Amino acid sequence: MHVDLVPYIVLADGREVIVNRDQNTWEYTDSQGFTTWMRTQDQTAQGNLRKVIRLMKFLRDHKGSFTGTRSVILTTLLGNQVHAYKKFADPSYYRDAPTALLHIVGDLDTYLQANESKPSVADPSGSGVTFDHRWEQNTYSYFRDRIHKHAAEIYDAYHAEDKVTSVRLWQGIFGPGFKAPVTATSSAKFPVATTAVTAVARPGRAG
C-alpha cells in the first residue's frame, strides 16, 4: 500500500490551501469537511465504501485500470453513488463488501454512461470548488470505458452459479492473490484477499 500526503497551509485569512503546482497558485481545500463527508458515506454503506474504494484503487494502481484518474476524483465519484434511500428499497444493498462493490460500481457505471462528456466533480466538503482541473476529457473517456468493463465483470463474478466459477471470475478481475473462502462464515460471493489491498487506510482528500 502507499499513503498520499498532501501538505497544506493556513493563510492569514484562515483559509486552508494546497499548492496547485501546474498553475503555481493556491488551491482551497477543506480536508476536515472531506473526511466528515467520507465518514458519513461510509457509515451509510455499512462500512463497505472504504473497502470498495481500496479495491478500485488496487485496480488502478496494480492492474493498470483507469490510469491517470486521481484518488480524490475516484473517491468522490464512488462516494457520490452511496445513498440512504437505496437501503429503503433494499436493506441489503450495502450489506457486505462484494454486494457494495457490485452496487456502487454498477451505479457509477450507470452515471458515467449517461455522461459521454466529462461531468463536473464538486468537492463534497462544500468548499465550493471542483476537481475538474485534475483530469482531461481523454482521461475521463478511458475511465468511463474501464468502469463499464469492470462493472460487467463484477456482475458476472457476483452472480456466478457456482463457487468455483465465481472465484475464477473474481481472480480474473483482481488477480490470483484473491483466494477462495476457507471458513464457513466467509462469503461465498467473494474470494479472500491475500494481498496488501486489505490493509486499513483512512480515506482522505489526496491526489
Residue 200 clears pLDDT 70, i.e. is over it: no
Q: What is the pLDDT of residue 14?
A: 72
The band of 64, judged by pLDDT with boundaries at 50, 70 and 90, is: confident
Most confident of 14-28, 42-56, 180-194: 42-56
pLDDT at 49: 98
- Is position 81 within any domain? yes
Backbone angles phi, psi at 14, to 5 degrees: 95, -5
Question: Which of the two residues, 60 and 207, has the higher pLDDT score?
Answer: 60
Give the per-residue pLDDT at 199: 34
Q: Tell me if 3 is assigned to some domain.
A: no
pLDDT tens, position by position, 175-189:
988 876 655 444 556
**19: which strand partners?**
26
In a domain, 144, yes or no: yes
Helix, strand or coil, per DSSP, at residue 187: coil
3-state SS, residue 127: coil
Phi and psi at 104, nearest 5°, equal -70, -45
Residue 59 lies in a domain: yes
Domain holding 42, by residue range, is: 9-198
| pLDDT exceeds cutoff 70 at 169 | yes
β-partners of residue 192 are 179
What is the number of domains present in the chain? 1
Each residue's pLDDT tens digit, 112-137: 999 999 999 999 988 888 988 889 99
| Residue 2 forms part of a structural domain | no
User: Which three cell numbers, joined as nine digits, stand for 24?
Assistant: 503555481
Q: Which helix (H) or strand (E) holds 145?
A: helix 137-158
DSSP H or E segment with residue 59: helix 49-62
pLDDT at 97 over 60: yes
pLDDT on residue 206: 41
DSSP symbol at 198 = G
In a domain, 112, yes or no: yes
Residue 100 near residue 94, CB atoms below 8 Å: yes
More confident residue, 5 or 103: 103
Tell me if 205 is assigned to some domain. Answer: no
User: CA separation (Å) from 124 to 31, 90, 109, 127?
Assistant: 10, 25, 19, 8
Amino acid (1-letter code) at residue 128: G
